[in-house]
Structure formats: C-alpha cells, structure tokens
Chains A and B, each alone.
Chain A
Amino acid sequence: KAGVTQTPRYLIKTRGQQVTLSCSPISGHRSVSWYQQTPGQGLQFLFEYFSETQRNKGNFPGRFSGRQFSNSRSEMNVSTLELGDSALYLCASSPLSYLEAFFGQGTRLTVV
C-alpha cells in the first residue's frame, strides 16, 4: 500500500509570492490533516479535511488555506508568503478520525 505522498519535496519562494502544496493520502483514507513544523514552534495543526469539508482549523492567518478533492487528495495554499512561513509542511491521512495518522515525508518550504 503506497504511503502518503507530498509534492514537491522542496520549494524555494520569494516573499510576497504564493505557493500550493499537494498531498495524496493513502487509498481509502478520507481524513487529511496539515501541520507546520518549525524548530521554534514544533508541530502545529493547520487544518483537517474530511470528505471535501474542512472540519477543523488551527490558529493560522487567513493566508493559509486548503481544500480537498473528491478523490481525497488535498492541497494547501499560502498566499503573500512571509519569511516566517519557512517550515516543513506535513500532511497526514487517516481512515477514521483519530485512530492513527499516517504522515507524509513533508514539503520543505524556504521563503527568501
């Protein structure tokens, strides 16, 4: 069974630009969550989608958004990038709500 796949693995963007990250969950998983990981703040919850609906959102500004498609694939978008958005963005999928989250390898975003 293929694991959670995130693309791209690495990105370098300039301040003010926008970026879209993609996540393909494990087949059959309907819940997809996104997390931001930084050395200072650790792992922080961004949002969670289930059957194309955003069910939960973390404490991030509106520049961070996401969506889920009918095949459960998910994208997150960050607009007007700031230097502080540099981080590892992790996606996780789950078959049912909270039993276990399967994480992808992450997308390393660097904002210069």
Chain B
Amino acid sequence: AQRVTQPEKLLSVFKGAPVELKCNYSYSGSPELFWYVQYSRQRLQLLLRHISRESIKGFTADLNKGETSFHLKKPFAQEEDSAMYYCALTEGGGGSNYKLTFGKGTLLTVNP
C-alpha cells in the first residue's frame, strides 16, 4: 500500500531563514511525487511536481529514491509562504491509476 508521511504537523521559522518540509513515502513501484499548498482561505493548488524538476516561488524538491524522500526546501522563507503544505504521490508511468495519496500536511508559519 502506498503511504506518505509528513513528520512535522507544525513548522515555524523566521523570515529569511531556510526552510525544509519533510516528506517520506512508501511505494513499491515508481511513484510521481507532488507538493500541494493551501494558503489561508484559498483552494488546494499544485506547488510543484518532481517530474518537472522546476522551482516554483523559490521552492525546490528532490526525489531521493534511496531514502524514499521528497523534502521541500527554500533557502530564504518569506511571510507569504505561510500555508499548509501537503506532499502527495500517485502511480507513475502515466498509467490509469490516478489516485493521489496525501500526507497529513505541515502547517508552515513564517514569522516577521
């Protein structure tokens, strides 16, 4: 069974400090990994996906298959980064098994 673990429910940092939101997964095949974000009073939206190898709003995430991790990082946190962050995975390969498995989420607070 696939599982996503986000060990920190809450994470608080100061503006300008580096931030890392941890995500570990359990999946027997080759998954596709995502980070979704929910800002206050907004809908859940995609932040980035590992397949694109992109940097969005200064965030990056590297898939480490050996450690089965997909940690989200940003070198200098901004107050507008305060939000709920969810790590998610689905079966890779473009198959029809489109089912997102989410972690429980990490609430990031960036203090001024």
Q: Footprint of B on A, CB under 8 Å?
A: 3-4, 31, 33, 35, 42-45, 48, 50, 55-56, 58, 90, 92, 94, 96-106
The answer to whether B99 touches A90, judged by C-beta atoms less than 8 angstroms apart, is no
Q: A42-B102, A42-B104, A42-B105 given as contacts; is B96 within 8 A of A101 (CB)? A: no
Interface size of B in residues (CB-CB distance below 8 Å) = 23
Interface of A is mostly: strand
In the A-B complex, the 6 residue pairs with the closest CB atoms: A43-B102, A103-B44, A42-B104, A97-B98, A56-B99, A98-B90
Interface flag for B49 (CB, 8 Å): yes
Task: Please indicate the chain A residues that have their CB under 8 angstroms from the CB of B45 in the complex.
Answer: 102-103
**Is B97 interfacial (CB 8 A cutoff)?**
yes
Residues of B within 8 A of A43 (CB): 86, 100, 102, 105
Cβ < 8 Å to A, chain B residues 1-42: 32, 36
